[in-house]
Amino acid sequence: MKIPKIIKTLSKKLSEKNAKAIVVGGSIRDHFLELPIKDYDVEVYGMKSLEELENVLAEYGSVNLVGKSFGVLKFVYEGEEYDFSFPRTEQKVAKGHRGFSVSCDGSLSFKKAAQRRDFTINAMGYDIENQLFIDPYGAKKDMERKYLCHIDDETFIEDPLRVYRAVQFCARFDYVLAAETFKLCKQMIEQGLLEELPKERIYTEFKKLLLKSPQPSLGFKLMRELGMLKYYPELEALIGVPQPKKWHPEGDVWTHTLMCVDKMVLLKTGEEKHDLKMMFAILCHDLGKATHTQITVEKISAIGHEIAGVEPTEHFLYRLMDEHDFIKSIFPLVEHHLAPSIYFRNGAKNSTIRKLSTKVNIEELVTVARADFLGRTTEESLKGIYEAGDWLLAKAKALDVYNKPPVALIQGRDLIALGLKPSVKFKEILERVYTAQLEGKFSDYNEALKYLKKYTLGMKIIHS
């Protein structure tokens, strides 16, 4: 296993003091999954006190004591941070993720210390000096079977967040939740244990599901099987909502939504905040169909569902976070997600496209609409080419409204220069002139000034 040089150096130093350094946690799992290793956590066995470990680490870099009460020292070397800790046991003494009594003990066995971890795949270790993997709970076998198995019933239920972790791990690694773990998770949900979780912790797991999974749909399907969707009625309401087979031969709105989410994965840019925005937008884009789908003998329709989808999107997202600006930025993407296809079909005018750019970022909108188009099984969608989106992007680029609206050519200072006195009329005048600009009635500053003078004279506003 690849180990940073500084950790090897510290391991050697610790061994001279009859202590053993063992790399633990996700880095071992990711090694076997052949994934990039981002964090190295090290447990130190055989030492009597954290102060002794702190002294060793301080010889080579800086030590942050913020986690000392939990038996963790954060060691920083050349800008990289590593967690060094003592083996410990945890006992639930109160609700919440802080309601644990932590007991550090350098004499614990690795197996006993690893018992507090959630799943077998996260309970392996690597003995640096002996270059030996330690696997007390059969993680390698579980990984070969692609099973996600918990370690211990009693310790697992102490942190209900582990149910959400099970969901995102299964989706990220394409694992099956072991029968006994599935049963335990389901019991925890039925007993209401997940209700003590703060939204911030849940949101973190949602982000991992949406940003790290090649198929987030696997996680949402597992949430449905476990009964977790009762906490997200906006998503649960999509199940069984029919769609016209001509446009959606894949099935109900739930099926379509999950297909869209998986397609959005292929459209990610690598910029986390942007990608998360796109993932949530596509997850929520058809929430309005739950209330606006109408079924008659002749057809199935969902007229107005895009506008109606804003309210359930708001309710759903505020269950996960309090990032107001981020949440509000998703509303226009939901409200206008049909625009690219409609505009293409109707051959929208340049003025219509300019006006759209004042309501929503067109580049982002086309990304959402593209995932919507590709997340179905029509003959056109299966070809993988979203002609309407490509058309709108080309038009938007030509009009210089690709990802921002046109800058208003006329500002308040122009009204003052014209001799007008500031008043409540200014807003009305500026809005009317800007609308004229969007409609293409002028395209440069001089033409805008001519329009302004003509318009204000028409309003019988006297210039000084």
Would you say 314 and 331 are in contact if contact means Cβ atoms under 8 Å apart?
yes
Is 237 part of a structural domain of the chain? Answer: no
Q: Is 17 helix (H, G, I), strand (E, B) or coil?
A: coil
Please tell me whether residues 41 and 19 are part of one structural domain. yes
Query: Which pLDDT score is estimated for 106?
Result: 74
Rounded to whole angstroms, what are the CA distances from 267 to 231, 276, 394? Answer: 28, 11, 18
- State in Å, rounded, how far the first CA of the chain is from the last one: 81
Q: Is residue 238 part of a domain?
A: no
Q: Which of 137, 189, 135, 192 is nearest to 163 (CA)?
A: 189
How far is Cα 154 from Cα 34, in angstroms, rounded to an integer? Answer: 31
Residue 35 lies in a domain: yes
pLDDT at 99: 53
Q: Which helix (H) or strand (E) holds 90?
A: strand 88-92
Taking 80 as the threshold, does the pLDDT of residue 460 lie above it? no
pLDDT tops 70 at residue 100: no
Summarize the confidence of residues 5-23 as an average pLDDT. 95
Please tell me the predicted confidence (pLDDT) of residue 170.
98
Residues 256, 235 contacting (CB under 8 angstroms)? no
Residues 102, 160 within the same domain: no
pLDDT at 461: 63
What whole-number percentage of the chain has pLDDT above 70? Answer: 95
Residue 337: which residues within 8 A CB-CB, separation 6 or more? 281, 285, 306, 365, 368, 369, 372
Q: Report the pLDDT averaged over residues 239-266.
A: 97
> 100 versus 249: which is more confidently predicted?
249
The model's pTM is: 0.92
Q: How far apart are CA 290 and CA 308, in angstroms?
A: 9
Q: What is the pLDDT of residue 88?
A: 77
Q: Is 22 in the same domain as 113?
A: yes
Q: What type of residue is 355?
A: K
Please report, for the domain that includes residue 15, its CATH number: 3.30.460.10
| Domain contains 80 | yes
- Quote the number of domains for the chain: 4
Q: What is the mean pLDDT of residues 247-261?
A: 97
Query: Where a domain ends, among 188, 203, 231?
Result: 231
Per-residue confidence (pLDDT) for residue 87, from 0 to 100: 87
Alpha carbon distance 204, 315 (integer Å): 18
Q: How many whole angstroms separate alpha carbon 1 and alpha carbon 28?
A: 8
What CATH number is attached to the domain comprising 225?
Answer: 1.10.110.30
Model pLDDT for residues 46-72, shown as the tens digit of each residue? 988 889 999 999 999 999 887 676 778
Lowest mean pLDDT among 95-109, 221-235, 260-274: 95-109
Does the residue 128 lie in any domain? yes
pLDDT at position 177 over 80: yes
pLDDT of residue 105: 78
pLDDT at 463: 54
Both tokens assigned to 319: 């269950």
Q: Compute the distance between CA of residue 425 and CA of residue 163 in angstroms, rounded to an integer.
A: 58
- Residues 252-263: what's their mean pLDDT? 98
The predicted structure's pLDDT at residue 338: 98
Query: Does 34 share its domain with 140?
Result: yes
Last residue of a domain, one of 177, 210, 231: 231
Full residue range of the structural domain in which residue 125 is found: 5-145
Give a yes or no: residue 463 inside a domain.
Answer: no
Q: Using CA atoms, how far apart are residues 215 and 259, in angstroms rounded to an integer?
A: 9
- Asked whether residue 426 falls in the same domain as residue 373, the answer is no
Does 352 share its domain with 431? no
Q: Which residue carries 């002749």 as its tokens?
A: 298
Residue 440 in contact with residue 351, Cβ under 8 Å?
Answer: yes
pLDDT at 357 over 80: yes
Judged against a pLDDT cut of 60, whether residue 212 lies above it is answered with: yes
Give the number of C-alpha atoms closer than 13 A to the C-alpha of residue 261, restricted to the C-beta side.
28
- Mean pLDDT score of the chain, rounded to an integer? 93
Specify whether 396 is located in the same domain as 319.
Answer: yes
165: pLDDT strictly greater than 60: yes
Lowest-pLDDT range of 24-28, 322-326, 420-424? 420-424
Domain stop point among 199, 231, 263: 231
Average of per-residue pLDDT across 34-54? 91
Q: Quick check: 179 pLDDT over 90?
A: yes
Query: Residue 298 carries which side chain, given as an amino acid letter?
Result: E
More confidently predicted of 95 and 330: 330
126: tokens are 């690597």
128 and 167 housed in the same domain: no
pLDDT in tens, 328-341: 999 999 999 999 99
- The answer to whether position 120 is within a domain reads yes
- Is the domain of 260 the same as that of 360? yes
Mean pLDDT lowest for which of 30-39, 62-71, 306-315?
62-71
Is residue 340 located within the same domain as residue 361?
Answer: yes
- Going by C-alpha positions, the residue among 94, 3, 19 that lies closest to residue 54 is 19
Amino acid at 385: I
SS3 (DSSP) at 100: strand
How many whole angstroms separate alpha carbon 168 and alpha carbon 82? 24
For residue 352, the SS3 value is helix
Say if residue 363 is in the same domain as residue 402.
yes
Q: Which CATH number covers residue 310?
A: 1.10.3210
In a domain, 236, yes or no: no
Q: Quick check: 101 pLDDT over 80?
A: no
Same domain? For 309 and 387 the reply is yes
Say which amino acid occupies 101.
S
